[in-house]
Amino acid sequence: MFPTASRALVAGLATLGLTATVATTTASAAAPTKWTVSFNDYVPRSTQDAYPDYVYVQAADGTLPEGVHGTLRLDRNGSTIARGYGWSRSSGEVDLPDLQPGDVATFYDAISGTVYATATYDGRPAFDPATACVGSKTFAGLRTGNALVTDLYAYRWAPRNSTPGYGSSSTRLIRTDINNGTLSTLSGEAFTGTFERPLAAGAIVAASSTYLASPSLTVYASTERTVGGCPPPPAPQVVQSAPLKDTVAPKATITATTKHAKSLTLKKLASPGLSFSVTSNEAGTVTAVLNLSTPSKKKSKPAKVVSLSTVTAPITAGKPLSVLLAVTKKQKKQIAKAGRKSSLVAHVTVTDAAGNVATLGDLTYKAPRS
């Protein structure tokens, strides 16, 4: 069902045990060669239970010789926080208010300094508080290496029926509302399982483990934690769909201001220039290019095209944009010398923000001679 906190149980584990560090001794043929270290990390029974946790070390075989002062030392962050002795020179115990992961237990001879066993508490077996929580039946946790995980259960403390005032407050309490757990899986350092019923508020979950740290050391650990509330479920993930790519070119129109070839003169080309307006249903950029096109004397060859002027301007959706294409003095002479069949062609495009291009119909004028 569940382990008791008695030292007798811990002493019984010595039959499993061995130790991380064993000193060689020739003082006695029956000197210990195997040790058990036990870490017990418990929830206080009451506010008067100031030292609920304890660490116990015991020889699993043999006895240390006369004259050895076996002492257990507990170090935290490089500093000794407790020392204690056991019921024999081959055992030691320290009680403390709060055993913490990283605490190091060392059993040694206080006279010679010889170290017989040492082990470090890692806080395991440890329940995952996100699963071992109020209302949950399933649980998950972590163990040390391939440790054997046992004694999984939950309980609450309740007053024992006894003579009022007899004994301490802790001795007048008894475990009740036992909720046994069953181990389901062991995978690497992880374990999972289920309780007989959902965990109640205020319950304490408990677990024990045993593992062979070395051929000479067995480590036992028993841990308890008070059940807390389950974390809220994660918010549903909102999958943002990729925005639809704009593949449609703008719808644009061009309106010529210079309507007749007779009204287009070299002087007007220079100032104010060839004028027209562009309207688009999308915002974007207008590009207008004025070309001088001269047909080839040979029909098999394409016309000779010379770019005279280029204008680029932003356009607002639905708002007409006035465009002027003017030429320089040098270009005026170039136009005048062109053949009679030469023409001026205004090529206009509108490009939207997505890069879609609308090509408008060209505006074509006979190249003026004067």
pTM: 0.58
How does pLDDT run across 297-326, given as a tens digit for each residue? 777 788 888 888 899 999 999 999 998 888
- One-letter amino acid at 178 equals I
| In the chain, where the domains are located | 1-231, 252-366
> How high is the pLDDT of residue 140?
97
> How high is the pLDDT of residue 258?
65
> How high is the pLDDT of residue 194?
97
> How high is the pLDDT of residue 335?
78
113 sits in the region (left: phi over 0; alpha: psi -120 to 50; else beta) called left
> How high is the pLDDT of residue 244?
85
> How high is the pLDDT of residue 111?
93
> How high is the pLDDT of residue 165?
46
> How high is the pLDDT of residue 115?
96
Residue pair 86/67 in contact (Cβ under 8 Å)? The answer is no
> How high is the pLDDT of residue 2?
36
Q: Look up the CATH architecture of domain 252-366.
A: Sandwich (2.60)
Show the low-confidence residues of the chain (pLDDT under 50).
1-29, 165-168
> How high is the pLDDT of residue 29?
44
